[in-house]
Structure 1
Amino acid sequence: MTEKSTSDAPERPEQILFYEQGASWWWLLAGPGAGIAMALIQASAGYGFQWLVPGLFFVLVTGFLAIQVKAARIHTSVELTPDYLRQGTEYLDIDDIVRIYPEPGKNETPKWMSARALGELTGVPRGRTGIGLKLTNDRKAQAWARKHRRLRAELTRLVEERIPRERDA
């Protein structure tokens, strides 16, 4: 497993097979919504319209959400190319992946689910599903994504292209 900083990312343009952005900037519309809601509350309470409270809500909610969205776009984004899998800021060479574990059954908890999640987060991010990976040197890890089945299919295809299945004699 190779860990690279974002400045060590491959410089040549790659074919992106799978991408998730992590979070949407649309969440910032909650800031103006909060400001409008406070203005309507003021008006319905009979205080008239004063700029301070709605403006404060607008700035605080928008600012806080901007920080959260930026962090999510950095730490929970996923990118898969023919050469590497990026989870957050961690890069994993596809050559380091030996096998993709099958999806667990309903009442099954496979051992790979306790493996380290890729990326710099302490576990699989909320709203994402883990994908078990067997890595070189008998290591295990979890990749993750919202559209985990699509990522699993792309990863499986890439790994099978690099490591052909042994055919029964």
Structure 2
Amino acid sequence: MAEQAETAAETGEILFSEPGARWRAVAYGPIVCFLLLAVEIAAGATVHWFALLFCAALIAAFAVLQIYAARTHVSVELTDRFLRNGPETTTVASIAAVLPVDSGEPWEDGRALGELTGVPRRRTAIGLRRTDGELVRTWAKDHRALRAALTSAIERPAGDPDTGRDD
């Protein structure tokens, strides 16, 4: 599955991308610990070297695990040929329509794309009708930008050499 997701990113122009999490977040906990260490040194208090360094390393290790998981399961990428939600890749050619919020179709009950059981927290769902009639949900933090990019991608004419769509 991961190889398939990497292949999708390499085979077209990226129209939309959300990484799921940023690696800079690993530094936040250790920065706070080093600030506390500086305050202890400046105040002339007892310096808790081991405790603060241990906490900095522990917080960074947990952050690495969380960010790796978020980048694996909560990232979104749309190219002119593929839509990737986490490790699941869907071809743009298999998407018939991007459904409006008030479409009257029950897309809110559709399967969420990706390996997760539903739409991840702090993400907004977008309804899609696939060419086989299945209603599914894609999702993103910046759902307006993803909706616009998806609409643009599926409205390109069939057989357009820039899209890779042959239908």
TM range (shorter): 0.7 to 0.9
Tell me which residue corresponds to 2:106.
Answer: 111
Change in CA separation of 1:29 and 1:68 when aligned onto 2, cut-off 3 Å? same
Offset of residue 68 of structure 1: 0.3
Change in CA separation of 1:11 and 1:26 when aligned onto 2, cut-off 3 Å? closer
Bigger Cα displacement from structure 2, 41-50 vs 69-78: 41-50
Tell me which residue corresponds to 1:17.
Answer: 15
Q: Does 2:117 align with 1:126?
A: no
Offset of residue 99 of structure 1: 1.1
Offset of residue 53 of structure 1: 0.8
Offset of residue 115 of structure 1: 1.1
Q: Does 2:134 align with 1:139?
A: yes
For 1:112 and 1:13, locate their aligned partners in 2 and report how far apart those are by CA, in whole Å: 29
Change in CA separation of 1:81 and 1:11 when aligned onto 2, cut-off 3 Å? closer
Q: Is the 8 A contact 2:83 2:92 kept in 1?
A: yes
Q: Is the 8 A contact 1:38 1:53 kept in 2?
A: no
Q: Does 2:57 align with 1:59?
A: yes
Listed as ranges, the matches of 1:1-169 within 5 Å are: 5-8=1-4, 9-10=7-8, 13-36=11-34, 39=37, 48-104=46-102, 111-162=106-157
Q: Is the 8 A contact 1:131 1:143 kept in 2?
A: yes
TM-score, with length taken from structure 1: 0.80
Q: Is the 8 A contact 2:8 2:89 kept in 1?
A: no
One-letter amino acid matched to 1:22: G
Change in CA separation of 1:61 and 1:12 when aligned onto 2, cut-off 3 Å? closer
Identical positions, percent? 37
Offset of residue 12 of structure 1: 5.2
For 2:120 and 2:37, locate their aligned partners in 1 and report how far apart those are by CA, in whole Å: 35
Tell me which residue corresponds to 1:166.
Answer: none
One-letter amino acid matched to 2:54: L
One-letter amino acid matched to 1:16: I
For 1:123 and 1:162, locate their aligned partners in 2 and report how far apart those are by CA, in whole Å: 32
- Show CA shifts across 1:6-60 (max 9, x none): 2232485421111111111121122213423654786799860131110111011
For 1:11 and 1:57, locate their aligned partners in 2 and report how far apart those are by CA, in whole Å: 37
For 1:110 and 1:89, locate their aligned partners in 2 and report how far apart those are by CA, in whole Å: 27
TM-score, with length taken from structure 2: 0.81
Q: Secondary structure at the match of 1:56?
A: helix
One-letter amino acid matched to 1:131: I
